[in-house]
Amino acid sequence: MPAQTIEHFTLPNGFDLLVEEMPDVQSAAFTLLIPAGSLYEAPGANGTSAALCDLALRGAGDRDNRELATALDRLGVQRHEQVGWNFLSFGGALLANKLPEALAIYADVARRPLLPPEEFEAVMSGLEQSLLAIDDEPGRKLSTELRRHTYPDPWGRPTEGDLAELRNVTLDRVRELHRAGFRPNGAILGIAGRVDAAAVREHVERLFGDWTRGNEPSIRTGETPPAATHLEHPSTQVQIGLAYHAPPYGHADYYAAWAAASVLGGGPSARLFTEVRERRGLCYSVQASLHSLKTEARTIISAGTTTERAQETLDVILSELDRLGEGIGADELRRCQARAKSSLIMQQESTAARAASIARDWFHLGRIVTLNEVRQAVEELTVERLIDSVRRYPPRPLTVLTLGPQPLQFTDRLIQAHPR
């Protein structure tokens, strides 16, 4: 892969800027991370960060809601917003020559959002509707609840909010989270595309350089819910979720653990798909992946099946988990490496993917992992390293979560409270 030119600048107020020059493209993309994610919500008011993310885009600077949306549309910004545990993420992709104007608008969003009270009711109504929609999608609900049951609070707190706590989300709490979280120290801006790093730095310094630092709030770790849980859901389907400890992003064992999860359930040729879905016809979906926070991670497995086949589906998944440590074929590793390289090539061509990636790397690692580093790490994987990783991070203890009309059976030795 061609060498990457990536520059990092930290403004005196603590604002971090990462710029990757991609001269062979015509576009540019940006990802702005603001430290106001769900970790920082008041207890019992889950959904405050989601409300703030929406409300912040309903007017900023001298533009009201409609004027802000029109200005971004006029620039052709393919925008996206996301609520995470640590950050609210605002970003977009557009033609490179329009980037300075777009950044000026998002500087207003970050520094001068109107947070209009007349829009708050509509924000909360939309948030309620989206949460009700999740209840109607068992697979999404399982994913949300599995995170809640495998990580301690607030790390497992749903980023999209909680219907039961929505009534505690008030405009005052949204404004309080804004005051605490919308600050330059802890904020990260990643930019990638046909840009000049020095010119970008100069422009960003004008937009964000006099932004006043804020206090960094502390995070109190709470309890982890029970490691085995059944959630009743009126359906003919059963959703099964499993999670167990894995090395986080940046750990020496990360890529080996990622590859082991990919061998287990990373695609149509993976073991779970082949054994559970194709050979036995037990489920309509099954997958495994590695999910990482900053300091800890989990291998996550999920499956969707019918009530009649749910118990056998769980039993076969557990059997495949045990079998993974017994051996991994060289052909399985090669397929995993091929999928990773394809993903790297697509990421190399996407300014949006690169902007998000360099911002994420800076938060997790305090440095940027180049695509060549990733490629080399993937190519250096061996079957022995994958098996060693499986044995270092065995699928015990397990968090087991089922969603459906009735609970499933499993032995107590599979589960135990996770260490904190």
Alpha helices in 186-235 (DSSP H): 197-208
Q: Is there a single domain that holds both residue 200 and residue 271?
A: no
pLDDT in tens, 243-279: 999 999 999 999 999 999 999 999 899 999 999 999 9
Residue finishing a domain among 158, 173, 208: 208
Q: Which amino acid is at 406?
A: Q
What is the spatial distance between Cα 272 and Cα 278, in angstroms, rounded to a whole number? 9
**Per-residue exposure over 395-406, b if at least 16 CB sit within 10 Å of its own CB, e if not:** bebbbbbbbbee
Q: What is the CATH number of the domain that holds 353?
A: 3.30.830.10
Give domain status of residue 216, yes or no: no
pLDDT at residue 117 greater than cutoff 90: yes
pLDDT in tens, 290-345: 999 999 999 999 999 999 999 999 999 999 999 998 999 999 999 999 989 888 77
Q: Is there a single domain that holds both residue 325 and residue 397?
A: yes
Q: Is there a single domain that holds both residue 145 and residue 234?
A: no
pLDDT recorded at residue 17: 98
Give domain status of residue 261, yes or no: yes
Give domain status of residue 222, yes or no: no
**Mean pLDDT of all residues belonging to the chain:** 93
Q: Is there a single domain that holds both residue 284 and residue 353?
A: yes
Q: Is there a single domain that holds both residue 65 and residue 185?
A: yes
Mean pLDDT of 367-393: 94
Give me the sheet containing 283-292, strands edge to edge.
Answer: 228-232, 399-404, 237-246, 297-306, 283-292
pLDDT recorded at residue 3: 75
Q: Is there a single domain that holds both residue 204 and residue 112?
A: yes
Q: Is there a single domain that holds both residue 261 and residue 174?
A: no
Q: Is there a single domain that holds both residue 37 and residue 81?
A: yes
Q: Is there a single domain that holds both residue 64 and residue 118?
A: yes
Q: Is there a single domain that holds both residue 204 and residue 233?
A: no
- Taking CA 419 as the corner, what is the angle to CA 219 and CA 134, rounded to the nearest 5 degrees? 65
What is the spatial distance between Cα 242 and Cα 261, in angstroms, rounded to a whole number? 12
Residue finishing a domain among 208, 237, 258: 208
Q: Is there a single domain that holds both residue 138 and residue 97?
A: yes
pLDDT at residue 412 greater than cutoff 90: no
Query: How many domains are there within the chain?
Result: 2
Give domain status of residue 383, yes or no: yes
Give domain status of residue 214, yes or no: no
pTM, to two decimals: 0.94
Q: Is there a single domain that holds both residue 89 and residue 204?
A: yes
CA 404 to chain centre: 26
pLDDT at residue 372 greater than cutoff 80: yes
CA-based torsion, 377, 379, 384, 389: positive or negative: positive
Instruction: Show the domain range for 359.
Output: 228-414
pLDDT recorded at residue 247: 97
Q: Which amino acid is at 63?
A: R
